Amino acid sequence: MENKKRAAIIISVLIAFLFAIDIIGFYIAVAGFLVGMITYLGERRTWVISLSVVIFMVLSYLFFEQGLKLTLPRGIIFEFYLN
Amino acid sequence: MGADVLAGIQLIAEWQNIFFIFSGVAIGIVLGAIPGLTATMGIALVIPITFYMDPVASISMLIGAYKGGLYGGSISAIMIGAPGTDSASATVLDGHALAKQGKSAKALKIAAYASVIGDFLGMAALVTMAPFIARVALRIGPGDFAMIILFSLTIIAGVSGESLTKGMLACCFGLLLGTVGIDPIIGLRRLTFGVMELDNGVSVMGLLIGLFAIPEIILQMESKITAAGRLLVKEGSPEDRRLTWRESKGCLRVILLGSGIGIGIGAIPGIGPTVSAWMAYGQSKRVSKHPEKIGHGSLEGVAAAEAGNNAACGGSLIPMLTLGVPGSISVAILMGAFIIQGIFPGPMIFKEHGPLVYAIFAGLVVSNIFLLGLALLAINTIAPYLCNAPKKILFPIILACCYIGSFAVTTKIFDVKIMLACGILGYFMQKTGFPAAPLLIGFILGPIGEQAIRQFMIIAENDLMQIIYYPVADVFILLTIGSIIGIARSEWKKSRQAANRLNA
């Protein structure tokens, strides 16, 4: 029962994350997703959480945007204001 | 052929390719060693990174990751007694017993040597046999090919796990998913429901990542995360750490036996490295000089299991490269990677992409050398940390990687949606006991088989019975019937045994 509840929460968060990427863009969405998930799994040290999130975001920026020359989704809202 | 070999070696010798193989092996070892992240998942996660590389680099890196993962699994099997990858489950018995005696470094070293020797022999079998089989296979036409595909669909029996019915249902669903998109011969839209993005079919990448990475992570996250096992920090005396020449020579017999079993088992479609590791382990008692020690901390036990699972890697590439039949789950994923690159494995690959195939063979040699170096390096440096990697942070990051990975290939959000849909589907399939591997095999083989049978129908002017004039096709029809009878008999035996147990 406990497991089912946790699974339901995790799956809902995964779906919400997908729509968040579309709306507010990858970087903001992933920061929110990672902080939320890591906290949910029981890590409480703030510096550990923030450090891993920042490292992940910097690495994915360097690898995908600089290395592979892709544009990770900016989100509908920001595309609207940027153009 | 000689020119192809030279061109292949030239291709692989570029420094970028060498670097990618190196990183593939390193990533494989790291992912394989972390309990909960399997070698299979490792390949699924590496595919998006390799998408933008040229085929040689991409395939060699993936095979490197696969091999690294097979060895990496033994690190946590030995140090904490929980296999990092399914195929290392046979390594746990003796490996962990050795670690309890303070001999974990020794066990890891013999595991590394056994893995590399097994790999090398598996690769030698691949390189010598594959071109030969492919030359024979080149003479076959679309009708024969369709029957080969039909036969290989019966291999789902091997990857179905507990219930054959559920495996067959999953395979049928995979076949159905494979038909989505524009019809290959007459160009009609099928099962797209008016969704434009589905015209090109369900994306292979989304399906791979969704089915083989997401469900596993959700399953592990839903139960409270605890350490996989206690890390044994007991350090033995220098003698316990060193692997002497005599000890390794004593293991050579079981390593050779394990490699032989691995190659044979790996080459049979449907049976993967896990089964071959257990079989090699079981048989090692027969040739061992100290059979009573096996199971209680014997180097031979570790060596046999590791040689068995790594040799299966080379063996399972034989049917994939020559006939286009994926032998195990990991190889089915590798085949997906080939298809993403626009290369269809099968007999034609040696003719159309000769230099590529020989470059991959050469890449296998290079990855072997890296595997040995990195494996020995990892033992004294990062091995203990990998076993206790912080999962609370790792799992969310891997989930985020799944999103980026499925986005990176086509840069369309739609593929991420497919990935997530497959992930949730895969989770419920696991919960209800439906295996994911048959779905993938149906999805990959379906379209290839469809194309072959429809080409044949055009040649035969819509008369299916003309297939009997093709001897190779006949052989495979008989093999298919035989294999179905065999499966039915073993299922019948199983159900009778179960009934007897209930009565007793």
- pLDDT of amino acid B158: 64
* Distance separating alpha carbons of residues B415 and B420, to the nearest angstrom: 9
Flag whether pLDDT at B306 surpasses 60.
yes
Give the minimum alpha-carbon distance from B220 to chain A in angstroms, rounded to a whole number. Answer: 10
* Distance separating alpha carbons of residues B91 and B288, to the nearest angstrom: 16
- pLDDT of amino acid A1: 65
- Worst-scoring range by mean pLDDT, B5-9, B112-116, B194-198, B468-472? B5-9
Mean pLDDT of B326-331: 77
Mean pLDDT of B285-314: 83
Res. B441 pLDDT band, cuts 50 70 90: confident
User: What is the predicted ipTM?
Assistant: 0.94
**Looking at the complex, does the CB of residue A66 fall below 8 Å from at least one CB of chain B?**
no
Residues from B in contact with A at Cβ < 8 Å: 49, 52, 214, 218, 221-225, 390-393, 395-397, 399-400, 403-404, 407-408, 411, 413, 416-417, 420, 423-424, 427
- pLDDT of amino acid A13: 94
Q: Enter the tokens of residue B126.
A: 């691949």
Average pLDDT along chain B: 83
Contact A52 B397 (CB under 8 A): yes
Mean pLDDT of B488-498: 85
* Distance separating alpha carbons of residues B65 and B70, to the nearest angstrom: 9
- pLDDT of amino acid A11: 94
Neighbour tally for A40: CB within 10 Å: 15
- pLDDT of amino acid B478: 92
CA B168 to chain centre: 20
Mean pLDDT of B66-82: 83
Residues 10-39 of A with CB under 8 A from B: 10-11, 14-15, 17-18, 21-22, 26, 30, 33-34, 37-38
Return the higher-pLDDT residue of B173 and B83: B173
- pLDDT of amino acid A50: 92
- pLDDT of amino acid B131: 81
Contact residues on chain A for B417, CB-CB shorter than 8 A:
18
pLDDT in tens, B373-385: 898 888 877 777 7
- pLDDT of amino acid A9: 92
Mean pLDDT of A6-30: 92
- pLDDT of amino acid B235: 58
Contacts of B404 (CB under 8 A, 6+ apart): A26, A60, A64, A72, B48
Q: Enter the tokens of residue B254.
A: 């079981």
DSSP letter (8 states) at residue B462: T
Mean pLDDT of B441-468: 86
Res. B504 pLDDT band, cuts 50 70 90: low
- pLDDT of amino acid B243: 72
- pLDDT of amino acid B503: 75
DSSP letter (8 states) at residue B235: -
Helix (H) or strand (E) holding B329: helix B329-340
- pLDDT of amino acid B227: 53
Contact B424 A18 (CB under 8 A): no
- pLDDT of amino acid B429: 92
Contact A10 B221 (CB under 8 A): yes
Whether residue B317 contacts residue B267, with contact meaning beta carbons closer than 8 Å, is answered with no
Residue of B107, B382, B63, B342 lying closest to B247 (CA atoms): B107
- Return phi, psi of residue B189, to 5°: -80, 135
- pLDDT of amino acid B225: 62
- pLDDT of amino acid B128: 86
pLDDT in tens, B17-64: 889 889 999 988 888 888 777 778 888 888 888 888 888 888 888 888
CA dihedral B273, B324, B336, B166 (to 10 degrees): -60
Return the higher-pLDDT residue of A16 and B247: A16
Query: Beta-strand (E) ranges in B20-107?
Result: none
Give the highest mean pLDDT range of B114-128, B131-145, B223-237, B337-351. B114-128
**Looking at the complex, does the CB of residue A50 fall below 8 Å from at least one CB of chain B?**
no
Residue of A nearest to B413 (CA): A22
- pLDDT of amino acid B96: 83
- pLDDT of amino acid A83: 61
Average pLDDT along chain A: 87
Return the higher-pLDDT residue of B238 and B222: B222
Q: Which residue's structure tokens are 């998913």?
A: B177
Res. B177 pLDDT band, cuts 50 70 90: very high
Flag whether pLDDT at B84 surpasses 80.
no
Flag whether pLDDT at B356 surpasses 70.
yes
One DSSP character per residue, chain A reads -HHHHHHHHHHHHHHHHHHHHHHH-HHHHHHHHHHHHHHHTT---HHHHHHHHHHHHHHHIIIIIIIS-------HHHHHHH-
Res. B226 pLDDT band, cuts 50 70 90: low
Mean pLDDT of A56-70: 85
One-letter amino acid for residue B427 of the chain: Y
Q: Which residue's structure tokens are 């990183």?
A: B23
Whether residue B93 contacts residue B74, with contact meaning beta carbons closer than 8 Å, is answered with no
* Distance separating alpha carbons of residues B416 and B429, to the nearest angstrom: 19
